[in-house]
Structure 1
Amino acid sequence: MVNKNVIRNLSDRELEKYIESNSRSVADAVQYAYEILQERGRTFTVSETEHIEALIAKKREDEKIVDEGWDKGLTEDVNAIELYTNTLIWILSVVFGVLFGGILQILNFIKIKNIKGAIITAFYSIIYISIQVVLINYIRQNYPDIIHDIFYVNFILSGIGATGLFFIRQQLFPRDLQYRAKSYIIPIIASIAISIALFYLF
């Protein structure tokens, strides 16, 4: 959230930069700078006024939050921080395992400088994966009649683990954080490559 009093302390020259066409400031900051300049006696031509109002309108449209549910805070604002979405983390966790989704969530926490969240996610991922491996091995050794269904069991366990990651994110991410989706291409390619390598190794 932009504090108008902070912007009010800026010089006229600094405020002018807020209303330029290439301004990377958020809509509220541009609006406040425009209003403060008017308060200080700066007069705008009709053309300048239309330009500034169009700039503010465009920025508000760009900043519009596109998701209020699963990926709450997701926006199309080009100035917003780039993070991996909850949807991507969930998919990787369920399909490839909690480790893969956990790594993306750790990177997200590091990106927003939340070391506590990164550490908790790391510990959770390691502990959950360990428990999941033990359970799968136990089922294989003691219930040979359902070995052919082990894939579905593993899928369900991964889904439960993904839910845990989601809960951690919901509790530790800033509730007013707006972010744009970071590309999913590299994480998916890396997950496939590592999974194939692990399959042939073990």
Structure 2
Amino acid sequence: MIKKLSDNELEKYIKSDSRSVADAVQYAYEILKERGRNFTHVESEVIEALINKKREAEFAEENSLDEGVTTDENAIELYKNSAILFFSLFFGVIFGAILQALNFVKIKDIKGAIISLLFAIGFTVLQIFIIGYIDGNYMDITDSTFYIRLLLSGVGAVGLSLIRQLMFPKDLKYRAKSTVAEVVISALILAAIFIIYTTG
């Protein structure tokens, strides 16, 4: 569709106030160059900056939970907030806290790392106590244990999120760090705990 537009119409795509998405601006820019439009070095820099800015905004919108994530290869590499949430919910708050603590260590904020870990340890102990208390005093929760743990882990994840919001630099841009190895390690640890618990 963009190829069918006139040069004047394409020029509107590359203006600084353009509301078009990054890909549309990129295509318009390339088509104009193919048609013989000569851009000065300054004009090219401005258009490329516009495209990059739009890509960043689109990326941030797609990853709204992960504010600050960028595709800039020069940015520091950290675990995403969504990864910390995932680990907190499905492996336990202590696992999410370890990732968050590693992020704080990476930006040289030892206080934030210690607070994240202390919170997770305290919350995990409280979580075990709450589940044991409910199971022993009110009902047999054998069939509902997973959902109760998930609910409590959600509360713990919110606590970690509050620590992050209060202590993490608001304007820090970072690249997403892979968590493949961490998922495997966490799964192996939980499997080992389960085996030890069931075999006595």
Pairwise same-fold verdict (TM > 0.5): yes
* CA shift in 2, pair 1:59/1:110, >3 Å: farther
RMSD: 2.5
Q: Which amino acid aligns with 1:99?
A: I
Residue of structure 2 in register with 1:178 after alignment: 173
Residue of structure 1 in register with 2:85 after alignment: 90
Contact 1:64 1:77 (C-alpha < 8 Å) held by counterparts: no
* Counterpart-to-counterpart distance in 1, 2:157 and 2:69: 19
Match of residue 64, structure 1, among 31, 48, 56? 56
5+ residue gaps in structure 1? 1-48
Matched residues, percent identical?
A: 45
Greater shift after overlay, 183-192 or 61-70?
61-70
- Give the 3-state SS of the residue equivalent to 2:140 in structure 1: helix
Residue of structure 2 in register with 1:125 after alignment: 120
5+ residue gaps in structure 2? 1-39
Q: Which amino acid aligns with 2:80?
A: T
* Counterpart-to-counterpart distance in 1, 2:70 and 2:43: 22
Count of paired positions: 156
1:138-157 pair list within 5 angstroms: 138-157=133-152
Displacement, 1:109?
Answer: 0.1
Match of residue 129, structure 2, among 126, 134, 139? 134
* Counterpart-to-counterpart distance in 2, 1:110 and 1:101: 14
- Give the 3-state SS of the residue equivalent to 2:77 in structure 1: strand
Q: Which amino acid aligns with 2:52?
A: E
Displacement, 1:125?
Answer: 0.6
TM-score, length-scaled by structure 2: 0.70
TM-score, length-scaled by structure 1: 0.70
